[in-house]
């Protein structure tokens, strides 16, 4: 199964309700700070929405719930890897995406045979404070050379205008967050993304 080249990341199921009908086919649900009794129904709802719209859902971090809810994908950051049971994730048949920022993290990720590798932030990002300011397109080129056939996700400061450069540098997939969620017209922005990546 080939993953779509456009990969928005949203912090609530409401965003999926708004964007899946537009044609989004790959989406990550990254919920922060929600009590578990609300989290489970939210993930189940996201899964149902994605099934309805023929989209692939990736759950950030909550791998136990992802297994329980029979999700197909989980995404883990480097900190998440510290306490995740990757063997349990694999036994449950889930595919795995992993965030990387430097060579040490890439080596760690590749040792787990991920189904995609994310590199970020390619450009400066306002989303979260990181010790990595900006990786740049040269790093995208380098990562693609190192990971070969594994899909490479470019994330961090990505916009419709920057997508082409990321693809040229070797990214297979471009991920966006604030370029959509902070846009005055998120639906129109999603349509521009779909046009730019298909």
* Full DSSP string of 48-115: HHHHHHT-EEEEES-HHHHHHTT-SEEEE-HHHHHH--HHHHHHTT-EEEEEE-SHHHHHHHHTT--S
144 is catalytic: no
Residue 144, SS3?
A: helix
* pLDDT tens, residue by residue, 13-48: 999 999 999 999 999 999 998 998 999 999 999 999
Domains of the chain by start residue, with CATH? 6-197 (3.20.20.70)
128 is catalytic: yes
| Paired strand residues for 153 | 118, 173
The one catalytic residue among 12, 90, 95, 128 = 128
Distance CA 91, CA 47 (A): 20
pTM as predicted:
0.96
30 is catalytic: yes
* pLDDT tens, residue by residue, 54-73: 999 999 999 999 999 999 99
The one catalytic residue among 5, 40, 64, 99 = 99
């Amino acid at each position: 199964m080939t993953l779509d080249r456009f990969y928005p990341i949203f912090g609530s199921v409401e965003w999926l309700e708004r964007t899946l009908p537009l044609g989004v086919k790959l989406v990550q649900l990254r919920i922060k700070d929600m009590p578990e009794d609300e989290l489970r129904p939210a993930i189940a709802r996201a899964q149902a929405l994605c099934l309805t719209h023929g989209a692939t859902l990736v759950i950030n971090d909550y791998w136990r719930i992802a297994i329980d809810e029979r999700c197909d994908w989980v995404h883990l950051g480097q900190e998440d890897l510290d306490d995740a049971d990757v063997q349990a994730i694999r036994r449950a048949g889930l595919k795995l995406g992993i965030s990387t920022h430097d060579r040490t993290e890439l080596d760690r990720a590749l040792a787990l045979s991920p189904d995609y590798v994310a590199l970020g932030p390619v450009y400066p990002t306002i989303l979260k404070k990181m010790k990595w300011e900006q990786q740049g397109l040269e790093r995208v080129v380098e990562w693609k050379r190192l990971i070969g056939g594994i899909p490479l996700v470019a994330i961090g400061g990505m916009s419709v205008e920057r997508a082409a450069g990321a693809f040229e540098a070797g990214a297979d997939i471009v991920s966006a967050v604030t370029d959509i969620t902070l846009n005055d017209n998120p639906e129109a922005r999603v349509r521009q993304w779909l046009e730019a990546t298909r």
